[in-house]
Amino acid sequence: MTSLRPRRQIIDRTFAVVYLVYLLGTAAFNREFARLHVELFGIPLFVGEAAIGTLLVLLLARGWAERKVPFPTDRLTFGLAAYLIIGCTFAVFGLLHGYGLAVFRDFALVYYLVFFLFTIAAVPGLIRPATVMDVLTTGSVVGSCVTIVSFFLAPRLVHEHAAPGYQALVAWIGAMWLALREGSRHSRALRALRYLGIGVNLLLIYLAAYRTMLPVMLITLAVLAGWAIMGRPGRQRTSLARAAAGLGLTVVAMAGVGLALGRSVEMPETPERSDNDGAISPSYVFDTLSARWVRGFGATAVAEPSLSFRASAWRLAIERILASPLVGIGFGPAPALHPDENCELVSSPVSNCGNAHNTFLTLAMRMGLPVFAYFLALNGYVAMKVLKRGARPADVPGWVPYLTAAYMSFILFGMMSLLFESPYLSSLFWVVLALMWLCATGAGAQPSEQDPLRYPGKGANVRPAVSSLGLEGRDDG
C-alpha cells in the first residue's frame, strides 16, 4: 500500500488542478472558453467534454487504486445516477432515430451533472469549499475585467448588449461571494481588491443589460436577508446583513443611474436589433443600455421583442409538452421554437438558439413530465435538507446562506433563459448544488481558521484540511 501512495497523490493533485482550471476558465470566459475549435470524426470538441473525460479517467484511476467508489454515496448520489441513466436512454433512442450530432446537444442537458460527482469527490478531502468559490469568483472578476477593457477600447453593441448576458450570472455570483468574503487576516489592500471586484462585476452586469438579472438580484438579496434574520446573533448574521445591505444599495444606485440616463435618450418602442459593429462613443452606449433597462419595465414592455419572443416560445413549448406529456419530444429534434430569431450564431446541430428560453420548459419538453418531476424531486430533496438544517439557526454552517442564494440565482436565471442548454453555466450549477449538499449534510464540515465563513460550533480547532493553495493529497492512513 505504501508504494501506491505517491501515485495516488499524483492522481489526486492532477484531479484537483484539472477541476480548478476548468472552473476558472469557465467562470472567466464562459462560451468563448468552451470552444476548442477542433473536430474529431466530424464531431466538434468542447473544453467541457475534454475536462469531463480527463476527470472521469482520473476518478476511475483513484477508485482502482483505493479499491472503492471514489466519492461519497448516499440517496442523492444514487438518485442523480438514475437521472443520468434516464438521460442515456433518451440519447440512445435519439441516435437510433438518426438525429446524430443533435442528440449530444440535448444530452448535455443531463450529463453535465457529473460535475456534482466531481465536486463531492474533491471537497473537502482535496479542495476546500472556500478554494472552489475563490476560483469561481476570481474567474468572474477576470472575465469582467477583460470584457470591460475590451469595451472601452472598442465600444460596440450587439442587440443592445455591451457584454454577454450569460456572463452577468457568473458576475453576480462572484459579487455575492466577495461581499461575504471576510477574515481577520485580510489587509486593507485585500479589502480594497474585494470592493473593486464587486464594482467590476456589477459594472459588467450593467453593460450586459440583461434584464433577467434584475429579479435574480432582488430575490437572491431577499434570500440573504432572510438568512440574516433567521441566523443567530454574531459574526455570521452581521456579515450576511452587511452583504445584503451593501449589494442592495449598490443595485439601487445602479437603477438610479439607469433611470437618470435612460430617460434622457429618445428610443423607439421597438428598436432595431441589428448589430452595431462600428466605433461608437461610450456615452452613447451607456445611454442606450440605460434606456434598455428602463424601457423593459414601462408601459411598452409588452412590445419588447426580447419579452414577446419569450412569451411565444413558452407558449409553443407548453403546446409541445401537452402533445407528448409522458416521454416528450426526445433528444435530437430541432429546438427552434422561434427559428433564428434573436440568434447571434447561425443555426447548427449543436446550436441551442431557438430554444424555449426557460430551461425547465426545455427539460419537460425534451424528456416528458414524469422525468421533469423526478428532476424537481431531486432538487427538492436538497432543499429539504437545507431547510431542515436552517430550522436550527445555531447549527447552520456559514456556507449555506451564500450557497442557497447562488443556487436561487441559477434557478431564477434558468426560468427566463438558457441554463442547462449552456453547458458552461450548467457545470457551475452542479458545482454549487454539490457544495450546498455537502454543507447541508455536514459532509463538507472541515473548517479552518482561514475559512471566511466558518462552521459554527463544529471543529473550531480542526487542522486546516488543505494547504494554502487549497490542494492536498489524501491521507492513505
| Per-residue pLDDT at 306 exceeds 80 | no
| Per-residue pLDDT at 125 exceeds 50 | yes
Q: What is the mean pLDDT of residues 304-331?
A: 85
* 451 confidence band (pLDDT: 50, 70, 90): very low
C-alpha cell recorded at residue 318: 407548453
Q: How many residues does the chain have?
A: 477
For the chain, what is the domain count?
2
Q: Do 210 and 145 belong to one domain? A: yes
User: Is 326 part of any domain?
Assistant: yes
Q: Which of 152-156, 209-213, 258-262 has the lowest mean pLDDT?
A: 258-262
Q: What integer best gives the mean pLDDT of the chain?
A: 76
* 91 confidence band (pLDDT: 50, 70, 90): very high
Contacts of 253 (CB under 8 A, 6+ apart): none
Q: Do 314 and 372 belong to one domain? A: yes
Q: Do 238 and 309 belong to one domain? A: yes
* 222 confidence band (pLDDT: 50, 70, 90): confident
State how far the Cα of 140 lies from the Cα of 179, in Å rounded to an integer. Answer: 14
Q: Do 37 and 89 belong to one domain? A: no
Three-class DSSP category at 39: strand
- Write down the pLDDT at residue 448: 41
Of the three residues 70, 95, 128, the one that is the final residue of a domain is 70
User: Is 27 part of any domain?
Assistant: yes
Q: Which of 94-98, 406-410, 462-466 has the lowest mean pLDDT?
A: 462-466
User: Is 306 part of any domain?
Assistant: yes
Higher pLDDT, 380 or 355: 380
Instruction: Classify residue 442 as left (phi > 0), alpha (psi -120 to 50) or beta.
Output: left
C-alpha cell recorded at residue 71: 466519492
Of the three residues 10, 45, 70, the one that is the final residue of a domain is 70
| Bridge partners of residue 139, in order along the sequence | none
State how far the Cα of 357 lies from the Cα of 360, in Å rounded to an integer. Answer: 9
Q: Do 8 and 134 belong to one domain? A: no
Enclosing domain of residue 293:
76-441
| Per-residue pLDDT at 301 exceeds 70 | no
User: Is 406 part of any domain?
Assistant: yes
| Bridge partners of residue 39, in order along the sequence | 44
| Bridge partners of residue 276, in order along the sequence | 157
User: Is 7 part of any domain?
Assistant: yes
CA angle at residue 401 from 397 to 403, to 5 degrees? 100
* 349 confidence band (pLDDT: 50, 70, 90): low
Q: Do 24 and 159 belong to one domain? A: no
Higher pLDDT, 8 or 342: 8
Condensed to tens digits (0 to 9), the pLDDT of residues 357-376 reads: 899 999 999 999 999 999 99
Q: What is the mean pLDDT of residues 268-285?
A: 53
- Write down the pLDDT at residue 459: 34
- Cis status of the peptide bond prior to 124, with omega within 30 of 0: yes
- Write down the pLDDT at residue 356: 82
C-alpha cell recorded at residue 174: 462572484
| Per-residue pLDDT at 298 exceeds 70 | no
Contact 203, 143 (CB under 8 A): no
Q: Do 111 and 13 belong to one domain? A: no
Of the three residues 28, 51, 70, the one that is the final residue of a domain is 70
| Bridge partners of residue 43, in order along the sequence | 40
User: Is 457 part of any domain?
Assistant: no
Among residues 470, 14, 103, 401, the alpha carbon closest in space to that of 223 is found at 401
% of residues, the chain, pLDDT over 90: 30
Contact 222, 411 (CB under 8 A): no
C-alpha cell recorded at residue 287: 445611454
User: Is 455 part of any domain?
Assistant: no
Describe the chain by its helix, strand, coil percentages, rounded to 5.
Answer: 65, 5, 30
User: Is 458 part of any domain?
Assistant: no
- Write down the pLDDT at residue 456: 34
Burial zone of 2 (CB within 10 Å; 0-12 exposed, 13-18 middle, 19+ buried): exposed
State how far the Cα of 276 lies from the Cα of 279, in Å rounded to an integer. Answer: 8
- Write down the pLDDT at residue 11: 87
Three-class DSSP category at 348: coil
State how far the Cα of 356 lies from the Cα of 37, in Å rounded to an integer. Answer: 26
